Amino acid sequence: MSTVNPRSRLFSLLAKEFETFIPQFKPYTTDYQMVAYASKDLETWLKVKMGIDDAEALYKMVEETYRGGPRDPRTPVGFWADMWLKKWRERVKILSTKFEEPRDHVERVKRARKIFQEMDWRNELRKMIIKKLIEHGEICMTEFIADNLIIEEIARRLQRADNNSIIALDPLSIYNAVSSRIVRLSKEKGPLVYLSIKPGLFQHNNY
């Protein structure tokens, strides 16, 4: 992997694996976005599994791993891609039109998202939730799911509070609540991420 940028190399390997698993897949058309999602998820998964937070250090280690021997990197990447695609089909729902939700819920989620974005401990909480998701077998769209679960929990607390009251958001309390939700996810099937797509993107719905 030394002659090619490791990140680009893994991206290309994922694209080839997707072509194997999905005959109609065309990675260098608008379908490339699916590879981009998977590539980001693979990077996140590797960070958790290898205990590395820095992307540059991660890819350096990946490069050194494959430089040291004749092993074929497609074997582990193919295994991971197969797992990812199964989770994609289970957890991601493609929408051709925007999903309509009650106005009060939309406003509450909007407020919860703003609160989350302004939290000092946002990144730390997010990393902890992503790690918990991966530990429980969620490897697809983990950053999206982590953000959604945290925001949903904040929104629930906003719903229970009076409009004029100030709620106390203890990161440990939120983590514990979201962690309990993650533990239950392994027993639940169904989408956790809804993507509103542009015409022509992921045009084959059986992905």
For 40, the domain range is: 6-94
Q: What is the mean pLDDT of the segment spanning 19-40? A: 84
Mean pLDDT of the chain: 83
The three-state (H, E, C) secondary structure of 63-97, written as one string: HHHHHCCCCCCHHHHHHHHHHHHHHHHHHEEEECC
Q: What pLDDT sits at residue 61?
A: 78
- Supply the pLDDT for residue 127: 95
Number of domains in the chain: 2
| Selection from 16-25, 33-42, 198-207 with the highest mean pLDDT | 33-42
Q: Are residues 36 and 59 in the same domain?
A: yes
Task: Please report whether residue 82 resides in a domain.
Answer: yes
Residue 203, domain member (yes or no) = no
User: Could you tell me the two tokens for 19?
Assistant: 């072509």
Structure tokens given for 125: 């909480």
Identify whether 1 is part of a domain: no
The neighbour count for residue 96, using CB atoms within 10 Å, is: 9
Q: From 30, 65, 94, give the residue that closes a domain.
A: 94
Q: What is the pLDDT of residue 207?
A: 54
User: Mind listing the pLDDT tens digit for each residue in 85-126?
Assistant: 999 999 998 887 776 778 888 899 999 999 999 988 999 999
Same domain as 89, residue 172: no
Q: Is residue 34 part of a domain?
A: yes
Return d(Cα 12, Cα 108) in angstroms, integer.
41
Q: Give the list of residues 6+ apart from residue 116 with CB closer than 8 angstroms, or none.
A: 122, 147, 150, 151, 154
Same domain, 111 and 45: no
What predicted TM-score, i.e. pTM, was given to this entire model? 0.85
Domain annotation covers residue 202:
no
Q: Are 13 and 87 part of one and the same domain? A: yes
Q: What integer pLDDT is reported at residue 160 of this predicted model? A: 82
51-65, 83-97, 193-207: range with highest mean pLDDT: 83-97
Residue 165 domain-assigned (yes or no)? yes
